[in-house]
Amino acid sequence: MSKPRLVLTRRLPAQVETELAERFELLTNAPDGLLSSADIIERVRAHRADALLVTLTERLDGDFFAALPDHLRVICTYSVGTNHLDIDAARAKGVALAFTPEAVTEATADVALLLLLAACRRAHEFQAILRQGRWGAWNAWDNLGWDPGGQVLGLVGMGRIGQAVARRARAFGMHIHYFQRNRLDEAQEQGAVYHASLESLFRASRFVSLHTPTTPQTKGFINAESLSWLPPGAIFINTARGDQVNDDALVAALRNGNLAAAGLDVFAGEPDFDRRYLDIPNAYLLPHIGTSTEQTRIRMGRDAAANLCAFFENRSMPWPI
Ligand code: DGY
C-alpha cells in the first residue's frame, strides 16, 4: 500500500523527520523558512498531500481552509496551542485536526518554575551585577528576593500543565489555589483551593501563573483591572500565550511597583515583543522556550506521528482537537 503524503511546514528534529519518513511520503521545508498560507497551499497541491504537519508559526485562517485542496484530509499541529488554527473553518471544510498536548506538559511546567524562581530571587538583576563587575563584599541586606515557600500560587487554568506546575510548586512549600470554569475532582485537585472567579483567585495569590489557551474570553484578560486585584508585591508568570496580557497594564504594574516581578516566556506578536520589558530589571524574559528540550521536541514529533498514523489507519487519533 502506498504511504500517505505529508507536507511539513517547518524542519523538525532529524530523528522525527527520519521516523516520519518511514511512514509517510514526506515533503519537508529544507531551508526552514517561514511559509505563507499561499506557499503552504502550493506545496500541498504540488505534493498532492493527504496530511499537513504545522507549527505555531503558521496561521491557518478561514481563507486558508477555503483555498485548501480537497485531497488534504488531516492537519496536526506540533504544539498544545491551537490559537493559530481556525478550528471552525477546518470543521466546515471537513479537515480533521490534532495536536500534541501531552508531550509538552513537563517541559513547559519546568519553565514556569524556572521563571517563578528566577523572578522571586531576582536572577536577572543579580546576574547583571556580577556580569557588570559590580559585585561587592557579601552583606546581609543586598540582593534580597522573596521565598516562594509558604506563599499562595494562583494557577489560572488547571489542565495538564497547571497540574504539573502545582506538583512542582508543592515541593517548594507553596499553597496551590486555582481558577478555571470547571472545578476538578478531588483526586486531581490534590488539596488545591478552587476559586470560582479570576478576581477571587488574584486577591488570594502572591504568585500567579497563566495556563490558559487563548480564546475570546482570555485574550487580553490580564489587564489593568485584573492586575489591580493582586496584592502589592505579587509576581506574575506567563508560559501560555502573550496575547492574553495587555502589555501597557503589565509594564505599568512592574514600573510602579505594584508587581514585584514578572517571568515571561511568551509575548504578543512574537518574535517581536514590547521592547519596554527590556528596561524593566524585575522582568525575567525568555524567548518562548517552554518546550525546548531535545526529549520534548522528539516526543512532540512522535505524538504528531501517532495522530496521523491513527487517522490513516481509521483509528481514533489519540489527541484530536
Ligand atoms: C505549544 O506547544 O503550544 C508551545 O507553546 C510551543 O511548543
- Asked if 78 and 100 touch (Cβ cutoff 8 Å), the reply is yes
Q: Is pLDDT above 80 for 1?
A: no
What pLDDT sits at residue 188?
95
Split at pLDDT 50, 70, 90, the class of 243 is: very high
What are 264-290's pLDDT values in tens digits? 999 999 999 999 999 999 999 999 999
Q: Give me the residues paired with residue 209 across strands.
A: 155, 237
For the full predicted model, state whether its pTM sits above 0.85: yes
Q: Is the CB of 291 under 6 A from ligand 1?
A: yes
Atom in ligand 1 nearest the alpha carbon of residue 78: 2
Q: What is the overall mean pLDDT for the chain? A: 97
What pLDDT sits at residue 289?
98
How far is the centre of ligand 1, averaged over its atoms, from the C-alpha of 229 (Å)?
28
Residue 60 CB neighbours (<10 A): 23
Q: What is the DSSP letter of 54?
A: E
Residue 169 dihedral angles phi and psi, to the nearest 5°:
-65, -30
Rg, Å, the chain Cα set: 22
Q: Do you find a cis peptide bond into 271, omega within 30 degrees of 0?
A: yes
How far is the centre of ligand 1, averaged over its atoms, from the C-alpha of 105 (Å)?
10
Q: Is the CB of 83 under 6 A from ligand 1?
A: no
What are 203-213's pLDDT values in tens digits? 999 999 999 99
What pLDDT sits at residue 158?
98
Q: Is pLDDT above 90 for 50?
A: yes
- Asked if 177 and 155 touch (Cβ cutoff 8 Å), the reply is yes
* 96-to-38, 40, 104, 163, 260 alpha-carbon distances in Å: 20, 17, 21, 28, 44
Half-sphere exposure of 191 (CA within 13 A, CB side): 9
Pairing of strands 234-238, 74-77: unpaired
- Asked if 237 and 117 touch (Cβ cutoff 8 Å), the reply is no
Rounded mean pLDDT, 158-184: 98
- Asked if 174 and 148 touch (Cβ cutoff 8 Å), the reply is yes
Q: Identify the CATH assignment for 105-285 out of 3.40.50.1820, 3.40.140.10, 2.40.100.10, 3.40.50.720.
A: 3.40.50.720
User: Same fold for the domain at 5-99+294-312 and the one at 105-285?
Assistant: yes
Q: Which of 9, 53, 84, 104 to mutate to test the pocket of ligand 1 (most atoms within 8 A of CB)?
A: 104
Domain chopping of the chain, boundaries: 5-99+294-312, 105-285
What pLDDT sits at residue 164?
98
Q: Which CATH superfamily is domain 5-99+294-312 in?
A: NAD(P)-binding Rossmann-like Domain (3.40.50.720)
Q: Which residues contact 68 (CB under 8 A, 6 or more apart)?
A: 41, 44, 93, 95
What pLDDT sits at residue 231?
98
